[in-house]
Amino acid sequence: MTCLHGSEHTYPMDEKLDVENSIPSFAIPVYPAYLVERGTEGPLLSDITVKDTSPPLCLVHAADDPWTASGSFLLAVEYKKHDI
């Protein structure tokens, strides 16, 4: 999830162009997919890392979604561990 990597840059910084803060203030993932391996209930993929500085989330997911909702639940648990 891109919102969890807001402080990471994937290109060389340009001082004239990259003056704005790129870290999101919040995120609203609706039916997020690809948080766990396809066909599994977990764990979260290794690049899904929650830090104390991660933006607050409002997760929206239906339990009967074809892609498992367990990723959303596991992500919420990680956020709870960080008291976000």
For the chain, the domain total comes to 1
Residue 7 has pLDDT above 90, yes or no: no
HSE-up of residue 30 (Cα within 13 Å, Cβ side): 0
Helix (H), strand (E) at residue 79: helix 70-81
Instruction: List, for residues 31-62, the tens digit of each pLDDT value.
Output: 998 999 999 999 999 999 999 999 999 999 98
**pTM over the 0.75 mark:** yes
The rounded Cα 22 to chain-centroid distance in angstroms is 15
8: nearest Cα among 18, 17, 16: 18
Beta bridge partners of 44: 36
Look up the domain containing 53 and give its range. Answer: 1-84
32: nearest Cα among 57, 6, 7: 57
